[in-house]
Structures are given as structure tokens and as C-alpha cells.
Structure 1
Amino acid sequence: MPYSREELDFLLSNDQAVTYAADLELSAASELKDLTALQKLFGQHARSLVELTRSRRVASRKIDSAAQWLVDSPSAQQATPSPVARFRSKNLEDLGVEWVADVTCSIGTELAHLHQAGIHAVGADLDESRVRMASHNVPECAVVRADALRPVVDAPVVIADPARRGSSGRIHRITDLMPPLPELIAAHKGRELAVKCAPGIDFTVLSQWAGQVDVVSVDGEVKEACVYTPGLQAEPSGQLVRRAVVLRGKTCLVLSSTLPYESDDAAAAGPAGRYIFDPDGAIVRAGLVRHLAHRHGWWQLDPRIAYLTGESLPGDGHSEDIRAAGVRAFRVEEAVPLKKLKAALTARKAVRLEILVRGVDVDPDQLRKKLKLKGDKGGKKEGTGWSVVITRIEDSAMAFICTAL
């Protein structure tokens, strides 16, 4: 819950109280005891201390240095993860960008990473409490209160993060963003823009003004699509470039639509090889599955489905190489029609099962219950866990019993 002006005044001027609250457990079991102690010591400010402590703990999972930042629950949930902001800042630095205005800066995540990259950054936000929190969190950067549609900073490059959730859930249409993307573009005409959008954005609506869209994932979870105007294209091409940015630990894979790929459906697919690969969600959403296949000499099981297959693993086949290639890899042990899956798993005494599905109307949890696997009645559990990849090949539902690598 956002802070009132009085609560922010208290948090900014009472480090001892903030430190005291940070040491509390604040679990479901200890909440009443902890809250009573805070109320006894700090009266009406107990609520803001609990809010700050819990929000910092949430934010620390995604933001560097969040343990010392001012943050509330909404900003902790909405904040751009540090790996994503770090990549964007490095990307802008490589393009020679020297000055940026973040016109929806919130608590300052982007500002912090822009500053670390040596880029002069100024923040703006319409919410007064966000402005105060960002000023505290990133004192190296100036932060002003301003409407994103009424620019007050004349920077040549603008970063914006319109609200991507409304009362009905996640927003995918650019006209429904807050502020709407067309209005944002018009307000900053003549400047280069980097606008964060939902990963499911329709790329076809971007072609008239965008030069590049980066779909970014962190540790297998797709976080955002960032749309750049043509002047911020990493690979100038005269057309919209789609990139998948896969961030996993210290590795970074960038795939681009400018890379070669097999355009013919018949040539792009073939029978299952020794391995099946499940591409990272950023690669799938950026429409670069075939580009990844071309890079490694793989092919699709079906031209309509994102699963890839091949006879070789990426790199030397180590787990680090597989992750860095932006895929999960599975060694195929057996392929059966879906209706014969239970018999095949029973013969293998399967008890633990991971189920992956594309292109077939199957709910993994319901299927797992329906299979009623009992495993080895003798109690031996070794080797009884499998991964099952279920997909449609032409008009048939197939199941591949695999060992996950």
C-alpha cells in the first residue's frame, strides 16, 4: 500500500526505527507480536514500517540494493528486474547514448543502472511519493514530478514504462496502456524512445514507428517487450527487428530476426532426433524458433509447434552450454501415441513425472491424475522419474518419454 506524505517523512528521518523493523521476522506466526511491539515503540507509524520491511524483502528478489531502498508493495511488484534494466543500460551505452529521461521512473530502478553505465539520467513521475522514493534511492540523479505526456526534460532519449495492468488484468493493446502508446509517441516526437510493453504485444502494430523490439526473459521467465524507435536499433536494417534477449545467471543470449532461418515449412520440420529442445519463452514470443534451429542444425517436430529436435547438443553438451543456448534439452527414450502413454510409463515403473505440452489440449495436472502411476511396488525409486513432451505432429498427438538434461 502506498505511503502517505507523513509516513514518508517518518521513514526518511528515522533510520533507527527502519533498522529495528528490518530485524523482525514478520511471518504469519509472529505478525501479531511484531506489530504490537512496533505500535508500542512507534505508534501510528507501525504500518509503514511493516510495509517497508516486507516490500524490501520482495524487491530484493529482483532489484540490486533494494534492502536499502525506499519501496512499497505496488512499486516492488511493478519494478523492472535489475538484470533487465542492466541489459538495457548497456545496450544504450553501446549505442553511444549519453543522456536519458526516464519519464515513468517510479522508485528509480532504471535510473540506478543508467547511472552505473555512465549515462546522465533524469527521472520523472506523476506520483509524488514515487518521486521522493526515487530521489532517496538514486541521489545521483535528479528526479522531478511531471506527467509523462507533458515532457519537462529535453533529453534526446526517453525511457517509458506505461502501466501494463488494468482492472481486468494484463494489457496487451497499445491503445489501452496508461498512458496509451500512441499518445506517448506523439508527446515525445523528435526524440528516440524505449518503451516497455507486455511480452504479448502484437508486433504488427509497431511497424509504422518502431525499429526494434526486444523480448526479454530472466531465468526462463519472460519479463517484458521493450520497443525502440529506429534511432536505437542495434542492427540498422530499415525494417522492424525482433530480438530475443535470454538472461540466465551471468549468461546473455541475443537472437535477432536478421539471422538466417528456414522459411519453408516442409524443410523446417522432420522426424524426432535424439534430443528435443524447448526454447526459452523470449525466443518463442519473438518468433525466432527457426532462427535458433538454423544456428544449431536443428529442426521442428511440426512446423506449427515451437519444439525443436536434433542429433546434437549445443556446445560441448554441458548443462551450462544448454542453458546458454536458451533451451531446455531432453534426451528421447521412447515415442508413443498419446493414448498409449500410460502403458509405456507403467512398463518403465514411472512414479515421478514432468509433463510439457504444446499444441495439444491436455492439462498436465489432470493427465497426471488420470495416469495413476504407481511405480515399482518393490519401493525402488531409482530411475523412475521422467519428462514427457506432448505435442501435435501433423494430425496426431504424440508423447515423447525423455530424460531431462
Structure 2
Amino acid sequence: MSAAEDVTPVLHPDGWALLEALPPYDPATALGLGARLREAGAAPATVAAALTQSRLRAAARGKLGGFADHMLFTAEGLEQATRLPVAARHADRFRRAGATRVVDLGCGIGVDAMAVAGMGIAVDAVERDPATAAVATVNLRHLEHAVVHLGDAEAFPDGLPVPRPGTPGGTDAAWVDPARRRDGRRLKDPEQWSPALSWALGLAGTGVGSVGIKAAPGIEHALVAPGGPAAGWSAAWTSVDGDVVEAVLWWGAAAEPGTLRSATVLRTVPGAGGDEQVQEAGTLTDVGLGPAPVGPVGGYLHEPDGAVIRAGLVAHVAEQLGGRLLDPMIAYITTDEPVTSPFARSYAVHAVLPWGLKRLRAYLQTQGVGRVTVKRRGSPVEPEELRRALRLDGDREATVVLTRRGDERIVLVCDPLV
């Protein structure tokens, strides 16, 4: 079923009313509910569309919280959509850069545009797919500073009905989130993105004062290095609860002066009234450190956050902790003292063993361990296969870290530091 077939029925008043009247989505009862609605006279296409939207709303709550309950979605748009707390950080960066009008080129379902308009900044949201543009229009309906335009992002700045940069009240910032999938596959080559990365980098020459380009977390550091195609830009990686959710290339007033790479760690914490909220645990920036020292395993192990690793800032965390690497090519830090950092998960090391299944099983059995969390870097062993092969039945829990020092494969048995 196409996106248009999914969405169109709920754009009509009867479809919207049906969607809003549905109970919270429950996959166990969805089929029966659909049958009852059809028996009551609702059109099958309307029932299918409403239930699809109900399912997508439920799936979207992890990214968008309670806002999801009054939005529309396409499956692809939801997959690529920015988490709302992260989108709010994009919008705040534009605000701090002095932007008064942002063009969102390829706005998708409109989450970033929602965040920008929510800060009182005018936003022109451009989307070329009619069904997705309709969804974005619904999602932005309550925000007076937002307008959705059906058009091709690559027509900017002269081929779109948006105020031209450099004119009074004109566009002074641009945001672009290129499509990075085709036929369900991730596109590793940035020139295959839509729009291509080279085109997006060219936005810096359109007269706007700030540009942000959302990119894949695996984007190469060489892009922003001196002499690279994005020299003069800064790259910022963000993680939420350890999951690296994005990298963004920033240019102009929205870039961090003198910063090539940065890593921001966000954590979910309890909020008022029992609700959860996402807060910044810290931001680490590149200050040009050399390689971290390498040394023996100490009493404590530290696993840098994924955003730190992606940004190439492991040495900065090692310096912060006063630690050393186990191996120059492995992102594990060790210390002799129990220190912690918002940029790493820390563990007390109870045993360091040469790799061997029988040896590891025997040690864990003597310690009464029955459940293990397996982590690995630099090891070919699959965690799930190891858990099955250990056949443990004790009452304790432990963290097993599979890694190496040089050519030696080792196992660390640890407990998390609280």
C-alpha cells in the first residue's frame, strides 16, 4: 500500500474523526477492532488508514512523546524523523545563531520544522512527495510561523516560493535532512543521498548565514578536515541513552567556532509528574589532543559513549579520566581508580582472563554467576552464541567484556559502577 493510500482517508473529516476516536493501539486487538468498525459501516480504506496511523502513533511516542498522539505519519517519514528533543537542539542552535527565517529542505513529516516554529522562528518547510507534504501540513497546523510548500528542495533558492536570502525578511538559515535510503537499503555513498551531500554543502553559497545538514553517524572525519570538501564546517555527533542518533554538519553562524568535531551525550531522566525528559549530560569538543597512552588493565574499565567514538574523541575521555587504552585500536579505557565521566560507562574489573570458553565458564561458575551481559570490541565471538555456550545457572549477574591487547584475546569480568 502506498503512502498516499495510507494517509488520504484520514485527511477527510470522517477519517480524522475515526482516528481520533480509536482506543490506544494494541496489536493483539487491532484485527478484531477493524472488523467491528467495518461491520458498523466504516469504509474499509478508512478503517485501514486509521488503524495504520494509530499503530504509527504508538511507535512514534519514543521519538516524539505525547505530541505523537495528534500527528500523522508515513512509515518512512517516521523512521527518518528526528527525535523531538534532538530537533529542539537544532532549533535552539539556529536561534542562538540569530536566524529569523529557516527553510527546511525536504521536511519529511515536519518534526524539525515543528521545533523551529515552536521557538517563534519562521520556517518554510519544503517537501516534494504530496502525501508526505500533506502529513507535514497536518503536523504543523497549530504553528503560525510554519508554512509547507510542495516542491523540490534542489530548486532552492530561486525556484521555490520562499523569501530569497539577502532580502528584507528573507531566508537566513537552511536545514536539510537528505534521504539516505533507497528500496529499504542504507546508502553509504553521500553522493547517492537525495539531495546529494555535495549539493547540500553548496547551500553555504546561497546567501544564507547558517546551514545544518543531517548526516549518517558514520560520516567520514575527513569531510571537515582542512582541505576536505566540507572544510570550514563543523561536525556534531549526538547520542541518546547511548544510541548514536545522528551526525550534523554545521556551517556559518550555527557552527561552533574553531571546532571540527564534537560529541553531545543526552540521557533520559525522570521528570515532573512521573514523565521522562531528555537532558544533556555533556558535550565534548575536539581540542587537538594526540593519541591516548596505552597500558595494562587496571581495576576499572570505561566504555566511551558511541557519539564520542564516532567523533574520534576517545583520547579526550581518556585524558579526562586520567586513563589509558587497553589497545591503541580499541575504544576501551582503563584506570586504577574508580573515576566516572558522562561520556563513558564505567565498570569495576574483577578478573582478567585469557580468552577460552572453558576457562571463562569455570570462573563464572565459581562466582555463582548465572546471567551475563556480553560486550565486545576487537573480538569475533558473537555475544548471543557465547551466552548459550556458557550454560550458567547461578544467582549473580556480571558483565563479560571480550576484547584484545595487541594479538592477545582477553576477557574482562566486570560489574557496572553506579
Contact 2:25 2:54 in 1 (8 A): no
SS of 2:346's equivalent?
Answer: strand
Cα distance between partner residues in 2 of 1:351 and 1:341: 13
Equivalent of 1:226, from 243, 248, 273? Answer: 248
SS of 1:229's equivalent?
Answer: strand
How large is the RMSD of aligned CA atoms in angstroms? 2.2
1:16 aligned residue:
17
Residue 322 of structure 2 is aligned to residue 300 of structure 1: no
SS of 1:149's equivalent?
Answer: helix
Contact 2:100 2:121 in 1 (8 A): yes
2:281 aligned residue:
252
Residue 402 of structure 2 is aligned to residue 400 of structure 1: no
Show the 5 A alignment for 1:187-336.
189-190=205-206, 191=208, 192-206=210-224, 207-210=228-231, 211-234=233-256, 236-237=257-258, 241-249=260-268, 250-258=279-287, 261=289, 263-264=290-291, 268-314=293-339, 325-336=342-353
1:147 aligned residue:
152
Contact 1:388 1:399 in 2 (8 A): yes
Residue 194 of structure 2 is aligned to residue 172 of structure 1: no
Equivalent of 2:380, from 358, 361, 385? Answer: 361
SS of 1:307's equivalent?
Answer: strand
Cα distance between partner residues in 2 of 1:97 and 1:2: 37
Cα distance between partner residues in 1 of 2:51 and 2:184: 29
| Cα-to-partner distance string for 1:328-347 (whole Å, 9 max, x where unaligned) | 11101111111232232222
Contact 1:97 1:119 in 2 (8 A): yes
Cα distance between partner residues in 2 of 1:79 and 1:125: 13
Residue 357 of structure 2 is aligned to residue 341 of structure 1: no
Cα distance between partner residues in 2 of 1:130 and 1:34: 27
Cα distance between partner residues in 1 of 2:18 and 2:184: 38
The farther-off stretch of 273-282 and 197-206 is: 197-206
| Cα-to-partner distance string for 1:294-340 (whole Å, 9 max, x where unaligned) | 122222111111011113445xx6xxxx5xx1221110111111123
SS of 1:252's equivalent?
Answer: strand
Cα distance between partner residues in 2 of 1:394 and 1:10: 59
Mark the runs of 5 or more structure 2 residues left unpaired by the alignment.
Answer: 165-170, 269-278
Summarize the Cα distance change of 1:168–1:48 in structure 2 as closer, same or farther, 3 Å threshold. closer
Show the 5 A alignment for 1:96-111.
96-111=98-113
The Cα shift of 1:230 comes to: 4.3
| Cα-to-partner distance string for 1:139-192 (whole Å, 9 max, x where unaligned) | 321110110110123322111111111236222221111221113334663334
TM-score, normalising length: structure 1? 0.88
SS of 1:214's equivalent?
Answer: strand
1:378 aligned residue:
none
The farther-off stretch of 327-336 and 88-97 is: 88-97
Cα distance between partner residues in 2 of 1:10 and 1:346: 58
The Cα shift of 1:90 comes to: 1.6
Mark the runs of 5 or more structure 1 residues left unpaired by the alignment.
Answer: 376-380
The Cα shift of 1:10 comes to: 4.3
SS of 1:179's equivalent?
Answer: coil
Cα distance between partner residues in 2 of 1:56 and 1:25: 8
SS of 1:341's equivalent?
Answer: helix
The Cα shift of 1:94 comes to: 2.0
Contact 2:204 2:251 in 1 (8 A): no
2:273 aligned residue:
none
Cα distance between partner residues in 2 of 1:7 and 1:353: 45
Contact 2:101 2:121 in 1 (8 A): yes
Summarize the Cα distance change of 1:231–1:391 in structure 2 as closer, same or farther, 3 Å threshold. same
**Number of equivalenced pairs:** 381
1:34 aligned residue:
33
The Cα shift of 1:221 comes to: 0.8
